[in-house]
Amino acid sequence: MGARLLVIGSANVDLFATVPRHPSPGETLIGRGGQRSAGGKGANQALAAALQGADVTFVGAVGEDPDAQLALAGLREAGVDLGSVVTAPDSPTGLAIITVSEAGENTIVVVPGANAQVSVEQATAAVGQMGAGDLLLMQGEVPRETTEAAVRAAREAGRRVVLNVAPWMALDHDVLTAADPLVLNEHEAELAADELGLTSQGDDPAATAQALCGAGTASVVITLGAEGAVVAAGPDEVTRVPSPRVSAVDSTGAGDAFTGALAARLIEGDDLVAAVRHAVRVGAYAVQHPGAQPSYPQADAELP
- Over residues 228-248, the mean pLDDT reads 91
- Over residues 76-100, the mean pLDDT reads 94
- pLDDT at site 241: 97
pLDDT of 185 strictly over 80: yes
pLDDT of 69 strictly over 80: yes
Residue pair 86/32 in contact by the 8 Å Cβ criterion? no
- pLDDT at site 197: 92
pLDDT of 98 strictly over 80: yes
pLDDT of 291 strictly over 90: no
pLDDT of 210 strictly over 80: yes
Across the chain, mean pLDDT equals 94
Distance CA 6, CA 56 (A): 6
Q: Is the dihedral of CA 186, 233, 238, 50 positive or negative?
A: negative
Task: Please state the domain extents for the chain.
Answer: 5-11+40-92+115-295
- Over residues 224-240, the mean pLDDT reads 92
164 has binding-site annotation: no
Share of the chain above pLDDT 70, in %: 100
Of residues 109 and 137, more confidence is placed in 137
- pLDDT at site 32: 92
250 has binding-site annotation: yes
User: Does the annotation mark 203 as catalytic?
Assistant: no
pLDDT of 137 strictly over 80: yes
247 has binding-site annotation: no
Residue pair 121/11 in contact by the 8 Å Cβ criterion? no
Distance CA 272, CA 277 (A): 9
- pLDDT at site 16: 86
40 has binding-site annotation: yes
- Could you say which of 256, 270, 271, 300 is catalytic? 256
CATH architecture of 5-11+40-92+115-295: 3-Layer(aba) Sandwich (3.40)
12 has binding-site annotation: yes
- pLDDT at site 52: 97
Element (H, E) at 149: helix 144-156
- Strands 106-111 and 135-138 come out as unpaired
Compute how many other C-beta atoms are within 10 angstroms of the C-beta atom of residue 303. Answer: 13
Task: Provide CB contacts within 8 A for 90, sequence distance 6+.
Answer: none
109 has binding-site annotation: no
pLDDT digits (tens, 9 = 90+) for 40-68: 999 999 999 999 999 999 999 999 999 99
Long-range contacts of 238-245 (CB under 8 A, 24+ apart): 238/206, 238/209, 238/210, 239/273, 239/276, 240/206, 241/273, 241/276, 241/277, 241/280, 242/280, 243/280, 243/281, 243/283, 243/284, 244/280, 244/281, 244/284, 244/303, 244/304, 245/304
Task: Provide CB contacts within 8 A for 244, sequence distance 6+.
Answer: 280, 281, 284, 303, 304
**The length of the chain, given as a count of residues:** 304
Tell me how far CA of residue 189 lies from CA of 150, 202, 210, in angstroms: 21, 11, 11
- Over residues 119-127, the mean pLDDT reads 98
**Strand segments (E) across the chain:** 5-8, 12-19, 32-39, 56-59, 61-63, 86-88, 94-101, 106-111, 135-138, 160-164, 182-185, 220-223, 229-234, 237-241
- pLDDT at site 1: 61
Highest-confidence range of 77-91, 192-206, 241-255, by mean pLDDT? 77-91
pLDDT of 150 strictly over 90: yes
pLDDT of 133 strictly over 80: yes
Q: How confident is residue 282, by pLDDT bands cut at 50, 70 and 90?
A: very high
